[in-house]
């Protein structure tokens, strides 16, 4: 007996539930149905309680710094409106690549190949640059003279999209495929997926998968967006939800994660492009968070250009990196620094009396917190030399626990740089003499106050001291001397060109930085 076809236009979840109930009653009377449906019908038919859309943070995608890939092949009018709205709302975060259907389907094989190559190369470069990337077919509908010719045009366009995605080597943050044929072909032919885990919906009617282990990008979130689903803003809303945020991390977040994970984050002083690149490259290779740190003398030489370089590098890095201003001991200087885009700032009133230090630190702390910046301060005074600034031994003093409690309560700081026998620059031939008992008392106090412990002068500290300091709560180590020495030492061997000098210096610094990240326990902490 030949069956019949029934098309159900459900405008709401209630409509779907009513239809599913009627279908069940018909099945109880012996009727049999073959269904081609979207995801929302499955939950209604099986009585699954609806859940909120799955968000990137639910799957850990927010920790991924790469750009996402959006591929649009559908030609239905609703998709065209959604793409227009996407470009209107998300142009500031989106790299748009339009491929010509005319070149793909109506021109010579050479022109088709050129169009595919251009799109694939542009998309790969954009994704490597951590940019969310839209690949879309031109919106003018091209049809053949006969149904067979039209079908052939559709096949050429679909196969071109498959070939483009095949040639993209960069692993995206997520993949969104718009259109039924597009999502099916990309999953099976371009990404070699044979199975996927359905984890929920990105929005009502839009299934969300995780690609299987056999695919080209195992575990990547794959959003299957049918052509006729959602209103004109639906595509834009999903992309805004899943797109790589311009700024993912803050120094406070880095130290919070370090506290939770029982490790420390390295803050590395940088003076130029090679230093910035060395920190970022080491962090990406070691999968470690890091802090780019600028000292007043470096700011004086490099100016706003150096700050902008650090901020840009941090935003484009594939791991969490923030930018910190170190040892701000001038009120006027710090007021200017607060406007430059730093993530955090150190207020250094250690040269002042205790009461003056409180007053100075509290003033800057209020202003910095209004800009959501983490505030670090120093109590006590380190001896040694840093950037030609010298503090003699007789000027140095250890941090007093009782003063620390009053200081934290009065200033509202987020992180405390403590003096327990650590020094700026090189340690004496006898080696460091750290008061670990004092550090333990300070950690007891700071942990109750929600304040992070910072230790300056990490260059030259033996491994065992570093480990013991981390066990006693230090979550940020400042590193300068060893990295700077690596740079200077690299200049001693002759090079043929300035490019070789820069490359050698960067590599020398990177080795020291990577070793510190492993020592601090931050290596491997980023997925």
Q: Catalytic site residues? A: 326
As a whole number of angstroms, the distance between CA 282 and CA 290 comes to 9
Q: Which two tokens stand for residue 245?
A: 């945020």
Give the closest residue to 197 by CA, choosing from 211, 215, 214: 211
Three-state helix/strand/coil letters over 328-383: ECCHHHHHHHCCCCCCEEEECCCCCCHHHHHHHHHHHHHHHHCCCCEEEEEECECC
Give the closest residue to 72 by CA, choosing from 60, 80, 62: 80
User: Could you say which DSSP state residue 397 is in?
Assistant: B
Give the closest residue to 273 by CA, choosing from 248, 256, 298: 298
Give the closest residue to 123 by CA, choosing from 179, 85, 173, 169: 169
As a whole number of angstroms, the distance between CA 194 and CA 127 comes to 24
Three-state helix/strand/coil letters over 130-190: CCEEEEEECCCCCCCCCHHHHHHHHHHHHHHHHHHHHHCCCCCCEEEEECHHHHHHHHHHH
As a whole number of angstroms, the distance between CA 71 and CA 86 comes to 12
């Amino acid at each position: 007996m030949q069956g019949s076809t029934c098309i159900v236009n459900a405008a709401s979840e209630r409509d779907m539930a009513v239809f599913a109930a009627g279908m069940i009653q018909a099945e109880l009377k012996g009727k049999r149905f073959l269904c081609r449906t979207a995801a929302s019908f499955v939950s209604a038919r099986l009585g699954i309680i609806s859940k909120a859309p799955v968000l990137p943070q639910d799957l850990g995608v927010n920790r991924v710094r790469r750009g996402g890939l959006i591929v649009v092949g559908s030609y239905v009018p609703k998709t065209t409106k959604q793409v227009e709205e996407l470009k209107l709302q998300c142009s500031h975060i989106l790299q748009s690549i339009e491929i010509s259907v005319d070149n793909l389907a109506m021109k010579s094989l050479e022109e088709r190949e050129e169009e595919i190559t251009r799109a694939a190369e542009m998309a790969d470069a954009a994704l490597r640059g951590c940019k969310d990337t839209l690949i879309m077919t031109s919106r003018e509908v091209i049809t053949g003279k006969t149904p067979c010719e039209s079908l052939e045009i559709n096949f050429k366009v679909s196969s071109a999209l498959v070939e483009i995605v095949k040639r993209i080597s960069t692993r995206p943050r997520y993949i969104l495929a718009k259109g039924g044929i597009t999502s099916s072909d990309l999953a099976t032919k371009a990404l070699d997926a044979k199975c996927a885990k359905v984890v929920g919906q990105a929005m009502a009617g839009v299934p969300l998968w995780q690609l299987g282990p056999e695919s080209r990008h195992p575990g990547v979130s794959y959003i299957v967006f049918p052509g006729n689903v959602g209103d004109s803003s639906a595509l834009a809303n999903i992309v805004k939800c899943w797109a790589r945020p311009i700024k993912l991390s803050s120094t406070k977040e880095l130290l919070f994660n370090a506290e939770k994970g029982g490790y420390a984050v390295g803050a590395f002083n940088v003076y130029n492009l090679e230093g910035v690149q060395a920190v970022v490259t080491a962090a990406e290779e070691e999968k470690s968070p890091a802090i780019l740190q600028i000292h007043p003398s470096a700011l004086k030489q490099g100016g706003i250009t150096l700050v902008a370089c650090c901020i840009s590098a941090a935003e484009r890095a594939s791991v969490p990196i923030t930018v910190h201003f170190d040892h701000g001991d001038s009120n006027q200087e710090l007021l200017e620094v607060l406007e430059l885009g730093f993530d955090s700032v150190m207020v250094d009133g250690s040269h002042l009396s205790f009461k003056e230090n409180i007053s100075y630190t509290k003033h800057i702390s209020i202003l910095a917190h209004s800009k959501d910046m983490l505030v670090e301060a120093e109590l006590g005074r380190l001896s040694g030399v840093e950037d030609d600034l010298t503090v003699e031994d007789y000027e140095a003093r250890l941090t007093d626990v009782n003063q620390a409690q009053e200081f934290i309560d009065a200033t509202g700081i987020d992180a405390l740089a403590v003096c327990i026998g650590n020094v700026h620059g090189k340690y004496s031939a006898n080696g460091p003499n750290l008061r670990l008992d004092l550090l333990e008392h300070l950690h007891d106090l700071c942990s109750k106050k929600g304040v992070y412990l910072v230790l300056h002068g990490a260059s030259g500290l033996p491994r065992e001291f570093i480990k013991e300091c981390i066990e006693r709560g230090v979550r940020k180590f400042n590193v300068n001397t060893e990295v700077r020495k690596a740079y200077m030492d690299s200049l001693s061997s002759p090079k043929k060109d300035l490019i070789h000098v820069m490359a050698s210096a960067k590599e020398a610094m990177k080795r020291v930085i990577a070793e510190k990240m492993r020592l601090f326990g931050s290596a491997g902490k980023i997925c």
